[in-house]
Chain A
Amino acid sequence: MSANMVASSLAVGYGHRPIVSDIDFVLEPGALMVLIGTNGSGKSTLLKTLAGLLTPQSGSVHVLGEAPGVQPARVAYLPQHPVSSHTLPLRVRDIVAMGRFAHRGLLRRVTPQDASIVTDVMKRTGADAFSTRPLRDLSGGQQQRTHLAQVLAREAEVLLLDEPTAGLDISGREAVADLISQERSRGVTVVMATHELGDAESADIVMLLAQRVVAQGTPAQALSDAALRECFGFTQPH
């Protein structure tokens, strides 16, 4: 089985300023890599590079065998704070349906299969409960569910999720964990940035970032007391 994502000596950053260097990983289909670190640690920068929004500073990275950003229908990205304008007069269902635009391009018609996929992901994320309401009228958690449903509607082979549990309560977080588990079971590779150590429990690889790779490995290996103290200045309770 070939790897879905490979990075070798990768350095990521803005302009000519690297933020994190010496990143190496190989992710097989169905793998989950969790990026953990404080604000400004480089989690979002790495995700944006994998999504093709930033150019790698050095090293190499391949997503589904090609450079990042060239296969939009096969890779979906959830930004950290999707701009959901207070005035945006768009219904939840219309926002979720935008997830199919990568498959339909500029002019190809939306098919009944697209509509069925949108309905299905809205049920799975619970967004069907407020499908006809405008996005501006929703709470932060409901908006986050809507954006997550949009990402899932792409039916991508790689999911890049920047803090998908932000703004969600405990049941919402559990629902996101279930969704990620379902996606992985159908072979989708997931890279997720988070502040929550609990989100890393089911990961294959955990990468602890603090403007450098502090630790990397299985949750047990990466989340050692020494690594956490270096990254956050505290250790997790035993």
Chain B
Amino acid sequence: MGDFLVGPFSDNEFLRQSLMAGILVACICAIAGTFVVLRGLAFVGDALAHGVVPGVATATLLGVSGVIGAAVGALVMMTGVGLVSRRYRMSSDTSIGLLFVGMLALGVIINSRSHSFSGDITTILFGEVLGVSRADLWWQLGALMAVGAIAWVCRRPFLLLSVDEGLTQTSGFSVRRYHNMMLGMVALTVVASFQTVGTLLVIGMLIAPAATGALFASRVSTVMLTAAGVGIVASYSGLLLSYHADLAAGASIVLVAVLIFALCAVVVEVQRWRSHRKDIHHDHEQPHIHAQVHL
């Protein structure tokens, strides 16, 4: 049993590095994902993830680092999202939807100029967690520290934004500035994570663990810690599953994260149903108390 659970990691250096990358991505996504879930930015996060595709494709074509291309792509997408969010003639989800489909199409077209089209686009969309280098790990560690610092410094305006934009503004914090800071934090998370789980699947790591934390926790710090735990378990289980069943590693990690959420959601629903039934039963047994409360 020990060999089954630990053997793959103790025997393979590349798998240990992959696990380390998964843990780092889980922690980065836990921090940024918590605010994505609280503020309801899942669609914007998805758009940012797709927005990096043309950047990475261009970088691949030019032979420069994909991270630089992803950062440029995320910057362009952030600017685009910021611009369409301020327009009132069309709902922002329509504008952002068009923007991200356009960026994805542009990325595929740029990538089609590459000699190994299908290989490159698969790597961009679904990641290459088994090919993570030591340099990638250092870059992800730096990104984790930066995302953590942004979240800590901006925790008050980020919390206020989660409740109400008007409340944020009247508390002395600029809605536009801190909304952009939050988008920047999400963009940095996408750039740091796409090599591990891919641009298509990174949104799963952003949302599923944080949404799981939000099911149980009633404090932001607890949501983040739970999200990090779920992300780490998903990374480990996904890699193990991938190794033993010969499945795609990035997709396995994200699938496990989504399954954990689904399982927890069912548990919470059953708990609520049982608690509701208990209340009804209690009311039937003690109708006089019920009547007194409403007098």
Contact = CB atoms under 8 A, between A and B. Distances in A.
A139 B245 CA distance: 48
Contacts of B37: 87
B153 A85 contact: no
Main secondary structure of the interface of A (DSSP, over half): loop
Given A77-B166, A82-B164, A134 B218 contact: yes
Contacts of B167: 77, 79, 82, 98
B40 interface: yes
A106 B166 contact: no
B253 interface: no
Contact of A89 (B153, B154, B156, B220): B220
B171 A102 contact: yes
Interface in A194-220: none
A98 B166 CA distance: 13
Nearest to A79: B166
B164 A83 contact: yes
Interface in B207-246: 213-214, 217-220, 222-223
Range for the number of chain A residues in contact with chain B: 20 to 34
A104 B156 contact: yes
Contacts, number: 87
B170 A69 contact: yes
Given A79-B164, A85-B38, A104-B156, A98 B171 contact: yes
B68 interface: no
B218 A69 contact: no
B123 interface: no
Interface stretch (A32-40, A46-54, A112-120): A46-54
A83 B218 CA distance: 17
B169 A88 contact: no
Given A83-B163, A98-B160, A101-B156, A89 B217 contact: yes
A130 to B, nearest CB: 12
B157 interface: yes
A55 B157 CA distance: 22
B172 interface: yes
Interface string A62-104: 0000000100110111010011110111110011001001101
Interface centre among A83, A101, A104 (most CB of B within 10 A): A101
B174 to A, nearest CB: 11
A102 B159 contact: no
B163 to A, nearest CB: 6
Contacts of B214: 87, 89
Nearest to A48: B166
Nearest to A92: B218
Given A84-B163, A102-B172, 4 more contacts: A79-B164, A79-B166, A89-B38, A101-B171
Interface of B: 37-38, 40, 153-154, 156-157, 159-160, 162-164, 166-167, 169-173, 213-214, 217-220, 222-223
